[in-house]
Each structure stands twice: as C-alpha cells, then as structure tokens.
Amino acid sequence: MILKEITSAANPYLKEILKIRNHPARERFFLEGTRFVEELPPDCIEEVFTTDLKKHEAFLSSLPQQIPVYHLSSQGMKKICTAVSEQTIACTVTRKESERPKKLVLLDGVQDPGNVGTIIRTAYAFGFGVILSSGCANPWSTKALASTAGAFRSCYVEQTADLPDTVSKLKNDGFTVFATALDETAVSPEEIQFGEKRAVIIGSEGKGISPAVLSAAHKTVFIPMQNPINSLNAASAASIMIYRLK
C-alpha cells in the first residue's frame, strides 16, 4: 500500500479530485461510500481516499500494492464527497471498454440521474446496454452511479452527441429500433416482432422523444394502461420495454 497523508482540506490535490467528481466521464469518475467502493474489482480502482484506516484495513490490504491510498482529515473527505452523511472511504475509478451488446436501450433527454441509474440497473439485469443522448443526465455522476446498484461496473454505457445518427447506424448494422410514443401508427408491445439485434428508445417524461430521433426509428410502440395517467416514469417505461424485448 502506498500511503499518503493529506491533512488539510485546502490541499491542491483535493481540488483535482473535485474536478473529476464534478465532471465525471466513462474513462474516470468518482465513487463514495463503503458499500460501493469495497465491492469494486481492484483492477478498476485508481486511487483510494479514507478517513479511517483501521475500519477499512481488510479492504485496503487486499488492493494491489501500486494503488495509492490517501489518508484524509474529516474535513478533507467532506470536501470531496456529496453525501449528507459522513463518508469514510471514496475512490476514483477507471473503466474498461466493453463490447456493445445486441440488445440496447437508447435514452433521449432523460435528465433525472436517478432515472438514468435505475435504467442502467434494469438494462444490465436483462443483458441490455445503454446509449444516452447528450441531453441526458451524466451516467457517471454520484447520484446516477448510486442508482445503478453496482451495475455500472459491467453494463455497457455509451454517450452520443448525435442520437438520430446513432439510430441510423444501428439500423444499418441490423438492429430493429422501436420508439416509445403515442401516435396513430403505434402498436402495443405484444404486437412487435424483432430479431437478434433490437433497441428501444425512451424519451424524457416532459418532452418525450425528439422528432428527429422518433423519425429515425423503425416503429413506434405505446404501453397500454388500465387507468388514465398522463405518462409513466421514464425508468418504469424502460423496465416494461426491456422485459418485453429481453
């Protein structure tokens, strides 16, 4: 273990960690909390921050020797963490690329990080990957990661600046792409047919799927409801469609 002491919350290195926390990316992001950190595979942990070496002794001793461990003051840990309750361990994470699966959920403008994380969790449970438009919440933010319940470690997650173009490329690659929307051509989930490669687009609760993305899909699908509700939560709609297309 490479142990380093940081006694001041004003230490310049903590400012660098804050940049990672506030601007997370697939290649490098910040994670906090015992349950999340200690369940990570060691090969994806870049560096560890803790206020309690004794409490986390077993975990820290299990890490590869080259991973630096920073012993922080309570104030230093509060500075880099977002949770209201005091955290005793956090880390930065690097994530390896994975192969795009043949089942996908495409998110168009889903801005709530809790919804994004929940969809990633459900997608991974049924073997789907997730592609997010630039208007979605950052899937590597602290709240989104917490909502994945650990699925972020293995689920395929991709961000795209041009979702209509991504949909077109998926179609050219043999994907059948469905969009959840209520229009005169929409069919129920029981009526759709699909092959080995399939994808479903979920829009935001407020605006739904953008016209450009909607027009790029093969078919629109509506979710029948027994009672009159304006719309389903994005994560709920995604779960229903994931289960139908599993």
State the CATH number of the domain containing residue 46. Answer: 3.30.1330.30
17 in Cβ contact with 49 (< 8 Å): yes
User: Given a cut of 80, is residue 231 above it in pLDDT?
Assistant: no
Residues 69 and 44 reside in one and the same domain: yes
Tokens of 15: 């400012």
Domain count of the fold of the chain: 2
Residues 111 and 72 reside in one and the same domain: no
> What is the rounded distance in angstroms from the CA atom of residue 118 to the CA atom of residue 126?
13
Return the higher-pLDDT residue of 108 and 186: 108
Q: Tell me the helices (H) and strands (E) count for the chain, helix number first.
A: 9, 11
Tell how far CA 33 is from the center of its chain. Answer: 17
Q: Does an H or E element contain 18, and which?
A: helix 12-22
Tokens of 5: 């002491």
Please report whether residue 44 resides in a domain. Answer: yes
Residues near 240 by Cβ (< 8 Å), separated by ≥ 6? 189, 223, 232
Domain limits for position 212: 103-245
Asked which of 93, 123, 138 is the last residue of a domain, the reply is: 93
| Tens-place pLDDT, residues 39-61 | 998 989 999 999 999 999 999 99
| Tens-place pLDDT, residues 153-187 | 899 999 999 999 999 999 999 999 999 988 878 88
| Tens-place pLDDT, residues 12-36 | 999 999 999 999 998 899 999 999 9
